[in-house]
Amino acid sequence: MTEHQAPTEDPRPSGLRNAESLVVVLTGNGKGKSSSAFGMVMRGLARQWKVAVVQFIKSGDWAVGEQRICESLGVTWLSLGAGFTWDSNDLEHDKAVARAAWSTAADLIATGDFDLVVLDEITYLPTWNWIDVSSVVDSITSRPPHVNVICTGRDAPDELIAIADTVTSMTNVKHAYDSGIAAKRGIDY
């Protein structure tokens, strides 16, 4: 094991400035993309921000713990997906549901009514060619100046990464699922 030394010099770049809003992309094949986004939801709420979450894969049938607590704190939470594609009997229906969800999300961003909009699992829609990535990029880049946007999901398109201020790729080192353990309430959802 290599020993590490505590930094003795300030690692922050000089000339830091404030931004009115940020775009954050959380991608990669590891766990924690949505969880990280929901952590930022809590930070925003602590700053008295109005927050909206739009989920593009999970449907309203899911009983996710984050939704319950966030709604109790005043978050506008929209689970507009049709569920996992491998469970679908009609992918064309799922595509239509996803397009409608994107239209709703784009409207939420454009209104400027929210300080933070989380687009949970948005990366799948353009990756699967269910919506045009340029529509997502245009909505985000033309948003009102105070609206922060967080995008989650695997395989974030390059165009989305290019407009983001912060991009984090979660790396799967080890996951209980890989050894046959099912998703656990309170940990995974």
Residues in the chain: 189
- Residue 167 belongs to what H/E stretch? strand 166-170
Q: Range of 70's domain?
A: 40-146
- Evaluate the CA torsion angle 99, 104, 110, 115 in order and state its sign: negative
In a domain, 29, yes or no: no
CATH number at residue 116: 3.40.50.300
In a domain, 129, yes or no: yes
In a domain, 135, yes or no: yes
**What is the model's pLDDT at position 132?**
97
Both tokens of 124, joined, read 């799948």
87: Cα separation from own chain's centroid: 22
Rounded Cα distance between 150 and 164, Å, is: 9
In a domain, 50, yes or no: yes
**pTM, rounded to two decimals:** 0.92
| Cα–Cα distance list, 114 to 2, 44, 168, 171 (Å) | 46, 10, 23, 30
- pLDDT (tens, 9 = 90+) of the chain, 189 residues, equals 678 899 899 988 899 999 999 999 999 999 999 999 999 999 999 999 999 999 998 776 766 789 999 999 999 999 998 888 888 888 899 999 999 999 999 999 999 999 999 999 999 999 999 999 999 999 999 999 999 999 999 999 999 999 999 999 999 999 998 899 998 888 887
- Amino acid present at 89: N
**What is the model's pLDDT at position 184?**
87
User: Domains in the chain: how many in total?
Assistant: 1
**What is the model's pLDDT at position 62?**
67
In a domain, 25, yes or no: no
- Amino acid present at 51: V
**What is the model's pLDDT at position 61?**
72
Whether the CB-CB separation of 130 and 95 falls below 8 Å is answered with yes
**What is the model's pLDDT at position 63?**
66
> For residue 47, with 0-12 CB atoms within 10 Å meaning exposed, 13-18 middle and 19 or more buried, which class applies?
exposed
In a domain, 7, yes or no: no
In a domain, 168, yes or no: no
In a domain, 158, yes or no: no
- Evaluate the CA torsion angle 82, 88, 93, 96 in order and state its sign: positive
**What is the model's pLDDT at position 1?**
63
**What is the model's pLDDT at position 187?**
85
